[in-house]
Chain A
Amino acid sequence: MAKIELQGLVKEYAKTRAVHGINLTIEDGEFVVFVGPSGCGKSTTLRMIAGLEDISGGNLLIGDEVVNQREPKQRNIAMVFQNYAIYPHMTVGQNIGFGLYTSKLPKAEKQRLIEEAAKVLGLEKLLDRRPAALSGGQRQRVAIGRAMVREPAAFLFDEPLSNLDAQLRAQMRLEIKRLHHRLGTTIVYVTHDQIEAMTMADKIVVMRDGHILQVGTPTDLYEHPVDIFTARFIGSPSMNLVSGTLSAGGLAIEGTKWDGGKLDFPDAPIKIGVRPHDLIVGTEGPGLTLSGEVVAVEPLGSETLVHLAVGGETVIATAPGRVVPKVGSTLAARAEPGSLYLFDAATERALGRA
């Protein structure tokens, strides 16, 4: 097990800079998820940690040692790939055992480790099968088994669940999390799926255009996003944003009513963020009330997401219970004081909550 430190890590391809000198400390045993849209540099960063990409600048430390120049095998890390990358010409047992290919352990000991990993992952009965005869979830487990068997200092996961269907993904999320609890090994996990990030991480690193925007626990990021990008990226469905103005301690927004008391912010044009789950249809009281025509509904069973047209923008509100509002009707939805996120319209940085 080991602590991983990124000190001003830079990656350049010819004249393009993909990662702009990022700093991060991943504590021993921590589950860190890098999240961000395609091309944000998260996979490149992971590959630099793995040793599959050269580091153009800065230092990478694993267990307090600079490993910039070390080959992947010398870093004692294991990686699970998006496409599983389990070898089709080998059986499940051989695939798992391949992680020990260069190990000098006796054969019997290797076999014991393979069987142990297979047992943890529920693959004992499949050891003689070829990958072609496995389901997607089983293949992914084999890939994890190959990584596990080496008892590495850290696991690196590169979007490992993106090829699985939704149900299997939820199951594997849980299994990986359980595995982390059991092994206690440092995990660095890359995904573009914020649900994976929220449900699995001890610490989330939000990246965009090669920069780290924010680092924090899932709750931190949900409650205190530093900017509009993070605010909209974390949480599902995405946070609603409406344009407005702060003036004389009040909020002025087209098609809405603010009834939540005086706000202690300087006057400025702003963006007001409100999460769909905080914007409830059919309640009355103080706070922000938005009303508009229902343009679409998404019944989810226990609640319904209602898309409302408010002042030229569409916002998503939640209708609790099993009553599904009619498309075309007019509804009002309210957000409690304290549930709003205010952002500077020009810089998109967070101003605070209201």
Chain B
Amino acid sequence: MTAMPSTELPANRRDIRPGPIIAWTVLLIGGLIMVTPLLFMFSTSLKTAGQVYDLRLIPAAPTFDNYLKVLGDGRFMQWFFNSTFIALTVTVSNVFFDSLVGYTLAKFEFRGRYFIFLAILSTLMIPTEMLVIPWYLMSSQLGWLDTYWGIMFPGMMTAFGTFLMKQFFETVPNDFLEAARVDGLNEFTIWWKIAMPMVVPAISALAIFTFLGNWTAFFWPLIVTTSKELYTLPVGLSSFAVEQSIKWEMIMTGAALATIPTLLVFLVLQRFIVRGVMLAGLKG
């Protein structure tokens, strides 16, 4: 048997294409720009007060003392709980209400549907800073200042979430919903049992955006709360900076701890975003 001539080029003679090299270089630079502050945050959290201005990335004598101090401080744990509770509640509320309204706008024909959708969208054009005063006045009159509800109510349902969910529900084929209707389900059960599982990627995206947005929210929680027990983590951490001399190592430790839930949320939910389940039930 004779050997067939190989059609493959030797590895060192492959064409070097500039496209991927440029793309990787740009991505690398972008990644470094974003990661560097985070690395310094972790690095500073491992330094003592005297080493903070020593800008070496790897501390000369790394220590976990700051973590022990922050975790041992009851206020931090309280703020951590406040942030978790608020971010989770608002996320669940958004997933429920934004989906319900988005589904109704996407799948039901009724008079004024378009107008309602436009009205909801138009609220996206108003900056938060303009809304803070009416929110504050409303909270003040209704006795919501310095309450969890006061912090949460502006974000319990968002125009962005409604818009996102409506767009996704529009991609759910009506056949699924009609099949369920013929099977005798009521409209709420159709939404909950059939439509919602088909937009899991959208729900995950909405949950991540909402959780992160509320976890890092600073402006409104700062305005609506005066009692330190109700501070959220960002507001609490900023108070570290102003109450005495600025303790950078403590602030960085708190910030480092604050990133953990956001990373967890992303790691848990990202796979649902990638997984497109919906088309599997349709024609092959």
How far is it, in angstroms, between the C-alpha of A73 and the C-alpha of B198 when the chains are bound? 23
Whether A83 and B173, one on each chain, are in contact in the complex, defined by CB atoms closer than 8 angstroms, is: yes
A98's contact among B181, B183, B282, by CB below 8 Å, is which? Answer: B183
Measured CA separation A126–B278 after assembly (Å):
20
Interface residue tally on A, bucketed by range: 20 to 34
B181 proximity list for chain A (CB < 8 A): 51-52, 71-73
Interface size class of B (residues with CB under 8 A): 20 to 34
Are the CB atoms of A84 and B280 closer together than 8 Å?
Answer: no
How close is A158's CB to chain B, nearest CB, in angstroms? 9
At the interface, is chain B mostly helix, strand, loop or mixed?
Answer: helix
Tell yes or no: A265 within 8 A of B by CB: no
B183 near A81 with CB under 8 A, answer no
Q: Is the CB of A135 within 8 A of B284?
A: yes
Among residues 266 to 284 in chain B, which have CB atoms less than 8 Å away from a CB atom of chain A? 277-284
Residues in chain A near residue B182, CB distance under 8 A: 50-52, 72-73, 77-79
B118 to chain A, nearest CB (A): 22
**Could you tell me the distance in whole angstroms from the C-beta of B178 to the nearest C-beta in chain A?**
5
Q: Which residues of A contact B176 (CB under 8 A)?
A: 85, 87
Contact with A102, one of B173, B185, B278 (Cβ below 8 angstroms): B185
A82 proximity list for chain B (CB < 8 A)? 175, 283
Residue numbers in B under 8 Å from A50 (CB-CB): 178, 182
Is B57 interfacial (CB-CB < 8 Å)? no
A85: B residues at CB distance < 8 A: 173, 175-176, 178-179, 281-282
Say if the beta carbon of B100 comes within 8 Å of chain A: no
What are the residues of chain B within 8 A of A136 when measuring CB–CB? Answer: 283-284
CB distance from B218 to the nearest CB of A (A): 38
**Chain A residues at the B interface, C-beta cutoff of 8 Å:** 50-52, 71-73, 77-79, 81-89, 98-99, 101-102, 130-132, 135-136, 139, 143, 146, 150, 163
9 contacts between A and B (CB under 8 A): A50-B182, A72-B181, A73-B181, A79-B182, A84-B282, A85-B281, A85-B282, A87-B194, A98-B183
Residues of B with Cβ closer than 8 Å to A?
173, 175-176, 178-185, 194, 197-198, 200, 277-284
Given A83-B173, A83-B283, A84-B281, output 19 extra A-B contacts at Cβ < 8 Å: A51-B181, A52-B182, A73-B182, A73-B185, A79-B178, A82-B175, A82-B283, A83-B282, A84-B175, A85-B176, A85-B282, A87-B176, A89-B197, A99-B183, A101-B183, A102-B185, A132-B277, A143-B179, A163-B283
